[in-house]
Amino acid sequence: MNFKQIVFLVMGLILISCNDKNQPKTEIVTPESKIVKETTPTFQNKGHELIYNFVKKVGDYNTLRNKKDVVYTYTYTTPDGKSDISTEKYIFNNELSYGEYRQHQRTLPDLEGIIEQAYDGNEYWLKNNGKLVKDSLALKRVIFSRPTNFYWFAMFQKLLDPGLKYEYLGKKNLESKNYDVVKISFESQNEKPTDIYQLYINKESGLVDQFLFTVADFGVIETPFLMQMEYEKVDDILIPNKRKYKKSTWDATITESPWIDVTWTNINFNNGLKKEDFTK
């Protein structure tokens, strides 16, 4: 290439560059370059805002849903030494739930051997040693335990669900720790009693150290249970994997009642579970 050709080439590039500057720029937006700004909700009151900040700290439901599913070992032990030990599997979308109990001294103890119970998105089912169980009383236990086990695992993420009411009850000092206390209740259907949660948010850590709760389905309303917990970080979510609870009072009194222990171990997200894994 001679000198004259080089000059023409350079001049051509300069003209193209100048023309480009005078043209409006078109920005190519790829899925990776999109920035979705999360909007802060309008809070009902201070209690609602405290719960929102807490949920963001442990990981909200979108964070949980992005994990697709979870598999873990559930151990439930009562003061008499009897235990349930199950392998729990959930898909977060549509809240599918499965449990395989190799030990079930508290749940359907009359059935010998392995029991499986599940909710597949449409119906609940129960198997004992691989055979379907159609007993209505046994299935009622499944209808209670499947959504209950799922709810306990995802409870903190679900504290921002629609239909919840929040009430800030003020500050409280317990065992030399300062707490903000928030009461959460549910909108009642047909004026039926609903569960109540009274959460104690540690002002230093921003985490819920303990909470009071009722179980309206079993008539536990006037005398609440007190739940205390410890957290484990799994991926980017704080999971309250060590729990214990006992009868208490609405002042969160530590009574002489024995503790019931609950632990979640071997927690693994995103296992590639499919809906077929929950069908009978």
Phi, psi angle pair for 238, to nearest 5°: -90, 115
pTM: 0.82
CATH of 46-278 among 3.20.20.10, 2.50.20.10, 3.20.20.20, 1.20.140.10: 2.50.20.10
Among the listed ranges 15-19, 43-47, 253-257, 272-276, which one has the minimum average pLDDT value?
A: 15-19
CA 219 to chain centre: 25
Q: What average pLDDT score do residues 187-208 get?
A: 88
Q: Annotate 40-72 with three-state secondary structure.
A: CCCCCCHHHHHHHHHHHHHCCHHHHHCCCEEEE
**Which tokens sit at 157?**
């993420």
- Beta bridge mates, 258: none
Indicate whether 131 pLDDT > 80.
yes
Phi, psi angle pair for 48, to nearest 5°: -60, -45
Q: What average pLDDT score do residues 221-250 get?
A: 95
Indicate whether 27 pLDDT > 70.
no
In the chain, where the domains are located: 46-278
Q: What is the pLDDT of residue 193?
A: 66
Q: What average pLDDT score do residues 116-120 get?
A: 98
CA separation for the pair 215, 232 (Å, rounded): 26
Q: What average pLDDT score do residues 203-211 get?
A: 98
pLDDT category, 203, cuts 50, 70, 90? very high
Average pLDDT, the chain: 87
CA separation for the pair 44, 187 (Å, rounded): 14
